[in-house]
Amino acid sequence: MEHAGITVLYSTKNDVVTLKIRRPDSGRNDMGGEADMMSAANETGAGPRLVSHSNNFLVMKYLKGEGTGGWIRGRSAGDKETAILHIRKILEDCYKPGMAGIDHGELSSMNKHVITEDMCSIIDFDSSGSVMGTWYKFQEPGT
């Protein structure tokens, strides 16, 4: 699998953000497609908030947390309700972009989700694409 960019933490005067830098050898001309998909996902309430972007960079809100797989392995039986709430949120985050015509492309990988203290989020939209028109078959009749 080809990775389009390298992701690092970047400290600004006021905040710490996630900076994704396009790899020159990635075969991608720019980060515009990923920025468009992330922006559309943000409109549905999914994904880390896209702060800014250019041809070679994406700047996103930093989500401090751990991957879903590690988070689940670290839970005790007493955390069942919390786990259920987070898993439900992950499923909702998978569903919302789809209804907006976005195919994340890699949701079967638990590494594409991050759980923080108070939320969980889909991350990494570099394999995302538009599926506009495909999802209309799921609408209720008469809508």
**Statement: the pTM of the whole predicted model exceeds 0.85:** no
> How confident is the model over 102-137, as pLDDT tens digits?
766 655 555 555 665 566 666 666 655 544 443 333
CA distance 78 to 83: 10
Q: Which fold has domain 5-138?
A: Transferase(Phosphotransferase); domain 1 (1.10.510)
pLDDT of 53 > 90? The answer is yes
Count of CA atoms in the C-beta half-sphere (13 A) of 33: 15
Higher pLDDT, 110 or 26: 26
